[in-house]
Amino acid sequence: MSYVVLRHRDIPDLHTFDVYTKNGGFEAFKNAVTQMTPAQVIDVVKNSGLRGRGGAGFPTGMKWSFIDNKNWPHYIVANADESEPGTFKDREIMEGNPFQFLEGLAIASYAVGANVAYVYLRGEFWQLGALLDEKIAELEKEGFLGDKLFGSEYSLRIYTHLGAGAYICGEETALLESLEGKRGQPRVRPPFPPSVGLFGKPTIINNVETFTNVPMILANGADWYKSMGTADSAGVKIFSLSGRVRKPGNYELPFGTTFRELIYTHGGGVQDSRAVKAIMPAGASSSLILVDDEKILDTPMDYASVRTLKSELGSASVIIVDDSVSMDWLVNKTVHFFRHESCGKCTPCREGTYWMSNIIERIHQGQGTTGDVDLLLNVAKQIQGKCLCALGEFSTMAVVSGIERFSEDFKNAVTPEPLPQLYVKEREIGKA
Amino acid sequence: MSLETKYPNEVKQILSKYPPEHKRAAVMPLLYLAQREEGYLTKDAMRDVAQIVDITETEVAALVGFYTLYHDRKEGKYRMQVCTDLPCALRGADEFMNSLCDRLGIKVGETTADGFLTLEAATCLAACNRAPMFQTQGPDGIKYHENMTVERTMDLIAVLRRSGREVHS
Amino acid sequence: MTKQVTLTINGIQVTAPAGSSLVDAAKLAGIDIPVFCHHPKLEPVGMCRMCLVEIGRPMRDRATNEIVMENGAPKIQFLPKLETACTNKVEEGMVVLSQSDKARSGQRATVEFLLTSHPLDCPICDKGGECPLQNLTMAHGPGKSRFLFDEKLRLGKRVPLGDLIVLDQERCIQCARCIRFQDEIVGDSVLGFDDRSRGMRIITFSEPGFNSIFSGNTTDICPVGALTTRDFRFEARPWELESVASICTQCPVGCNITLNTRREAKAGGDFVVKRVMPRQNEEVNEIWICDKGRFVHHYTDSKRRLKTPLVRRDGEFAHVSWDEASKAAAETLKNDSVILASGKLANEDLFNLKALADQAGGKAYLYSHMGGGDVTTLIGVGEGTNIGAMGAGTTIVVVASDLYEEAPIWYLRVKQATDRGATLLVLNSRSTKLDRFASHVQRYDYGDAIKAAQHLGGIKTAEAFANSQNVLIFFGSDGLGVEGTANLASACAKFLQDGGYAGKPNSGLIGVWERANDQGAWEMGFEVAEDLAGALRGKSVYIVGADPVGDDPALAKALAEAQFVVVQDVMQTATTAIADVVLPARVFTEREGTLTSGERRVQRFYAAVPPTGEARADYAITAQLASHMGIELEGMSVSAVFERLAGAVKSFAGLTYARVSEVKPQWPIVGRGDMYYGGTTYENTMGLGVHLTAAAARGESLDVARAERESAPRPKGNELLAVPVNKLYDRGTTVMQSADLLRDWIGSPTISLHPDAAKNLGVEAGDLVHISFDGVSGEARVKFDESITANVVLVPREMGFAIREPIPVQISMPAKVE
């Protein structure tokens, strides 16, 4: 099959303006602006079944139709904060196929009536930001961005904006705060961004991969897109495969491809030919899928099917864990990540991630007791359902699933009896 | 010298990206600009940026504290930030980091005696398929180095020391 | 009227205004939903997660959109997760459960999380006893800690945030109330969080640290003992304190305060004031006070307090009996005497003094650098006025005043009014902090204030009044003396009259006076002498609550030439030093009385501590003195003086102590068992005060003097025009007694120049220069103010230079720069 999003793998030098336009680039955008109403564009996207690729999987066309048309101006923001451990797809898209991403962003801008679009890149994508700036300048020069495009009344500017190191800015309202020059702490919702977003104005935020699908959908039609994937999850998805596989990388596959195909056909199998012990299908935020039965690997990767394994597909950042890994080590890694990245705004996440990291560190260092494992599980559950945004919830996923589904690993890591004296350790949490 | 005097074009260009009534939005790019030369933000630099976007120094300091890529004290000329998060760790990042520490004779968070390099642990940098990896943050911005070995890293450091510049691909 | 919404909270039907948060609505029904970050004066943020509740809504049929009924009642569908009651607003038919097992488990979880890193040092914590965290831990917390003690964060226990406030980082629960107070209420973001995650710490980067004159309020709303004042830190436990209602005497706002007292060994077992706290009056100060009002109370137990009457014998003071002293004073005041009294005094004191002057045939002058009070008695604000409710439809004009420095709480309230949609027009010769909130800022040159006021409705500012039903004008003395302010008042009054605003509630003229009760003095019929020195020279003078000798060499000279000087005051001053008779008066904490605020509200204060030595209340001293002159004044009962006053002064007609002491329910509810809701501000149970009626509202004909154009003196040659400006923390006698606390805020004398003027003089910012005018000279530091013209120099009042009105000065280079 040919690629939809990672088209640069089919077409050499697609990142150059000439090659991109020779391959039909910007026809979809031009056609939309000159031949279609914004509502028609939204309808096509709605009918395609495209869902947000950032993790939540919200229907894209429906989101666009929520924009408040009584309040202007409108903004559109591309979420290029890609920070979930295990996710590295947006980077490849923007490096390899930047114009298709920008074209998708432009089409979306037209559809929701935004004249300004921002690309919010994580600060570490400093080089990528410079690259996109070049591409944007090229588009302005060639008349694909700017005032009164293609002789219409529609004008559009795209600007890049660099974050500065904060996972939480991938959360859309934290991203908006950050873009406004504030600490990236999530806002209370409702109101949602399509009503009150950037600078208090209606704003649509989508993931880079979501936007990059759009030009192809407009070019080939909704039915074409829907014909790929499953009924619940239409189209193709980039699966970022990492962990203990021979060939980690991005794989663009239709929704519904099995774990087995991803790992063995594309990923070259597990390193050292070991057995798969666990899968984290949505990066560090995943509930761990216990692979105690070969059949589990035959589960199709779509939103609904992964849910039957008591996990979520999320951003499809598939981390493969083999049987050489002990889960207390793994949970220690994820909890430390979330403790470091908690924005600190709400109590359960701020205090809970800190508390969990103390307990799991103790367990992992061999200083824990069985009581500590129970306490860790209890604290994680106590965080659940109480946080301001999803980060707090995410921080508990590997903890709860790890302890519940891999209890042996934790049993082996702790001493059954309480230690004679309290584990004493000077500790100062600061920036790592 | 103020940022506006030193980099008039850059400041103007940054401000032009945002609506004039929301110029606060320019604070983050301006902080990168202010950090460019010294590698960290002095109190004066923060005050300067605060004045440009019309917010208080405390608000600027609160941003510097929140985001990990802004620094409020002098460390090595280059910061080498090695990803040790789960996906990289599954591919040997911890061992890579330990060997680097041994070779450089410093611990994580420390700076080499000559003040050239600070070694830090970073959270996921979206390069999980090319571990071990790190980024360098220095006077010429941020650059990724992927699929690294300790040997190649030591070579890179030697080149950096010699040329004083990161070579961008 | 706001739409009302009915919902059910814990089975109780509650009706609340649409837009209320669930926490506030519950409060109306007497249900306490626990909170930490939520504060009724601040925007909801949903940070602390203490107010987790279950929320259900009537289920609607998808097809018909009709409410689904079940057993005759709407079927309620509950949300799967707990929700924060602070961020959710009331909805018709909503069902809220804050006491269910699920809700309580959420609340318990939050308390446990907050306590993991909290030091639990309640036994040594100043907040202990009035601490929301302590109280809510008792109500909702776990009995035992599951968090290892050794893993608790050890952080700074004494981190100064500026000179006045100390941060205990361990106790902080990151609710951001203090940060949000500065951001939202004050509009000065001088506090913030450093770092993120569990590393978050309160920081200030302002210069000086925590640069706010409202900083003390953050200690009231801090729900833990993280923020304490340097004044009260480790001074007493809350449960040892008595509370007495009072009124702040530091400026004309008239903030309602509570004096917290305790018996102390150092006072021989008597009560002393331990701290000053705000007392709620939503129409005056809401639940806030400024730092000056909070911290300057130390003057009341200063070592310089006068304790016994003194009479000069052979050049030396002798301690004498009250009878002897008052006789000696009365003897000389019988003929051709002058009374000079200040607005530090209570209404009752001023009434007796005026009565004495009238009956003895003498003159009664108010000691002030401002005129125009005769105008504010005619056209000042009156009954029905509430700055706290002003918003769209009201235009507020601030002319020749820096409210931030002169009347901080008015600054706050004007800012709040603009937040609610009021239009603000600021007229001044220089930029002031209020400019930021103004929709219109108009500059005039010093010397042209009256002209600017006369053109208020003119083209430049007409827009500001386009949609205003009400106009409120604050006029002050920035760059103006007695004559200038009197003319300015007249010009403003004319505008209000012509526009039809006179006599309307929420409209009128407010003087930003020097002292708390200047307005009261004007109501009583006091005048300000244009040539005070001339009025004093050669007379027998009775000075009450004023220090003219210390303030002004010209007045000192005039008093040296007076026949006889009787001084009645609370402490030793330069004026008591030259007196023939000294009469010791009680400070406001030692007696009862009433004060009339700048917005003409009469408010009552109560005695909190025993008097110092033999000091007596001013009205009683005056009555005793009068009795020796054969004049009968009430001196025994303060309320009886007030009765006479109400009978004699038209604007006070019908007022009694009982009326002034009335209270009505206020919102938000504060000060009861629920300190976590509104903070430690005290509930007002002792009186909200009553507005005086203005002559305009009584339908009397208004005889406002025509404003004359001021003519500021023209500086010659190498002179500049020195113009007086006002400073909150000056060298006034009350402030200086708290100098340990406020030293850096008082600072050294500093004059402001335009950079160009400085260049001409060859001076740099920070230089020390020599300044001389009219027999006054001294040294001052230079700072720059780019908003003024190059021919003026701003000289702060009460900072060592006697400047009453604009005057030409010479500035010369310093002998030596340090």
The rounded mean pLDDT for chain A is 94
What is the predicted pLDDT for the residue at B51? 96
Signed CA dihedral, C13, C17, C21, C27: sign only: negative
Task: Inspect the interface and report whether the beta carbons of B128 and A85 lie closer than 8 Å.
Answer: yes
- Tell me if C591 sits within 8 A of C607, measured CB to CB: yes
Restricting to A residues 135-164, those with a Cβ less than 8 Å away from any Cβ of B are 159, 161-164
For the cut 50, the answer to whether the pLDDT of residue C492 exceeds it is: yes
By three-state DSSP, how is residue A393 classified? helix
| Residues of chain B found within 8 Å of residue A181, distances taken between Cβ atoms | 22, 24-28, 53, 55, 63
- What is the DSSP code (8-state) at residue C186? I
The answer to whether residue A336 neighbours chain C at the CB level (below 8 Å) is no
The answer to whether residue A284 neighbours chain B at the CB level (below 8 Å) is yes
Task: List the beta bridge partners of residue C510.
Answer: C474
The answer to whether residue B143 neighbours chain A at the CB level (below 8 Å) is yes
- Tell me if B123 sits within 8 A of A337, measured CB to CB: yes
What is the tally of helices (H) and strands (E) in chain C? 25, 37
**Angstrom distance (rounded) from CA C252 to CA A322:** 76
pLDDT band per the 50, 70, 90 thresholds, residue C818 = very low
**Angstrom distance (rounded) from CA C544 to CA C348:** 13
What is the predicted pLDDT for the residue at A415? 81
Q: Pick from A85, A159, A321: which is nearest to B85 by CB?
A: A85
**Angstrom distance (rounded) from CA A323 to CA A291:** 10
In chain B, the percentage of residues whose pLDDT exceeds 70 is 98
pLDDT of A169-209, one tens digit each?
999 999 999 999 999 999 999 999 999 999 999 999 999 99
Average pLDDT score over residue span C445-465: 90
The answer to whether residue A178 neighbours chain C at the CB level (below 8 Å) is no
Do you know the residue count of chain C?
818
What is the predicted pLDDT for the residue at C635? 96
Q: Pick from A342, A385, A425: which is nearest to C150 by CB?
A: A425
Q: b/e for C110-129, b at 16 or more Cβ within 10 A? A: bbbbbbbbbbeebeebbbbb
- Tell me if A383 sits within 8 A of A349, measured CB to CB: yes
Q: Nearest to residue C472, comparing CAs of C435, C504, C436, C432? A: C504
Q: In sequence order, which residues have a C-beta less than 8 Å from that of residue C354 and are 6 or more positions away?
A: C339, C364, C524, C525, C526
- Tell me if A268 sits within 8 A of A246, measured CB to CB: yes
* Tokens read off for C774: 């009219």
**Angstrom distance (rounded) from CA C618 to CA C347:** 10
Start-to-end CA distance of chain C, whole Å, equals 64
**Angstrom distance (rounded) from CA A237 to CA A261:** 14
* Alpha-carbon dihedral angle through residues B158, B162, B164, B168, given to the nearest 10 degrees: -60
pLDDT band per the 50, 70, 90 thresholds, residue A341 = very high
Higher pLDDT, A13 or C144: A13
- DSSP for C303-320 reads TTB--S-EEEETTEEEE-
In chain A, the percentage of residues whose pLDDT exceeds 70 is 96
- Tell me if C377 sits within 8 A of C695, measured CB to CB: yes
Q: Of A206-215, C3-12, C93-102, C774-783, where does mean pLDDT reach its minimum?
A: C774-783
Q: Return the residue matching tokens 């003409």.
A: C600
pLDDT of C123-150, one tens digit each?
999 999 999 999 999 888 877 889 988 8
What is the predicted pLDDT for the residue at C815? 57
If one counts every other C-beta atom within 10 angstroms of the C-beta of residue C419, the result is 13
Mutate to test the interface with B, among C179, C186, C194, C212 (most CBs of B within 10 A): C194
* Tokens read off for A82: 């890609």
| Residues of chain B found within 8 Å of residue C189, distances taken between Cβ atoms | 55-56, 58-59
Average pLDDT score over residue span C275-302: 97
**Angstrom distance (rounded) from CA C194 to CA C201:** 5
What is the predicted pLDDT for the residue at C714? 82
Q: In terms of CA atoms, which chain C residue is nearest residue A352? A: C113
Q: Which chains are adjacent to chain A, needing at least 3 Cβ pairs under 8 Å?
A: B, C
Q: Which chains are adjacent to chain B, needing at least 3 Cβ pairs under 8 Å?
A: A, C
For the cut 50, the answer to whether the pLDDT of residue C568 exceeds it is: yes
Q: Pick from C44, C82, C153: which is nearest to A386 by CB?
A: C82
pLDDT of A81-140, one tens digit each?
999 999 999 999 999 999 999 999 999 999 999 999 999 999 999 999 999 999 999 999
Q: Return the residue matching tokens 């795209």.
A: A158
**Angstrom distance (rounded) from CA C168 to CA C741:** 19
pLDDT of C496-507, one tens digit each?
999 999 999 999
- DSSP for C439-462 reads SEEEE--TT-HHHHHHTTTSTTTG
By three-state DSSP, how is residue A419 classified? coil
**Angstrom distance (rounded) from CA A42 to CA A107:** 10
Residue C609, amino acid: V
- Count the helix, strand and coil residues of chain B and give each as a percent rounded to the nearest 5: 50, 15, 40
The answer to whether residue C91 neighbours chain A at the CB level (below 8 Å) is no
E strands along C31-86, which residues? 52-58, 69-70, 73-74, 76-78, 83-84
What is the predicted pLDDT for the residue at A334? 98
Compute φ and ψ for A419, nearest 5 degrees: -70, 145
Mutate to test the interface with A, among C197, C200, C202 (most CBs of A within 10 A): C197
pLDDT of C65-120, one tens digit each?
899 999 889 999 999 999 999 999 999 999 999 999 999 999 999 999 999 989 99
Restricting to B residues 5-24, those with a Cβ less than 8 Å away from any Cβ of A are 17, 19, 22, 24
Task: List the beta bridge partners of residue C277.
Answer: C258
What is the predicted pLDDT for the residue at C697? 85
Restricting to B residues 83-122, those with a Cβ less than 8 Å away from any Cβ of A are 85-87, 89-91, 109, 120-122
Q: Return the residue matching tokens 């639990």.
A: C120
Higher pLDDT, A233 or C347: C347
* Tokens read off for C799: 């900072």
For the cut 50, the answer to whether the pLDDT of residue A421 exceeds it is: no
Higher pLDDT, B145 or B37: B145
Restricting to A residues 215-254, those with a Cβ less than 8 Å away from any Cβ of B are 240-244, 248-250
Cα of B165 to nearest chain C Cα, Å? 30
What is the predicted pLDDT for the residue at C149? 85
Task: Inspect the interface and report whether the beta carbons of B85 and A84 lie closer than 8 Å.
Answer: no
Q: Nearest to residue A207, comparing CAs of A307, A120, A112, A308? A: A120
pLDDT of B134-164, one tens digit each?
999 998 899 999 999 999 999 999 999 998 7
Prior bond of A300 cis (ω within 30°)? no
**Angstrom distance (rounded) from CA C197 to CA A353:** 9
Interface ipTM above 0.85:
yes
Do you know the residue count of chain B?
169
pLDDT of C635-679, one tens digit each?
999 999 999 999 999 999 999 999 999 999 999 999 877 788 899
What is the predicted pLDDT for the residue at A430? 35
What is the predicted pLDDT for the residue at C255? 98
For the cut 90, the answer to whether the pLDDT of residue C62 exceeds it is: no
If one counts every other C-beta atom within 10 angstroms of the C-beta of residue C239, the result is 8
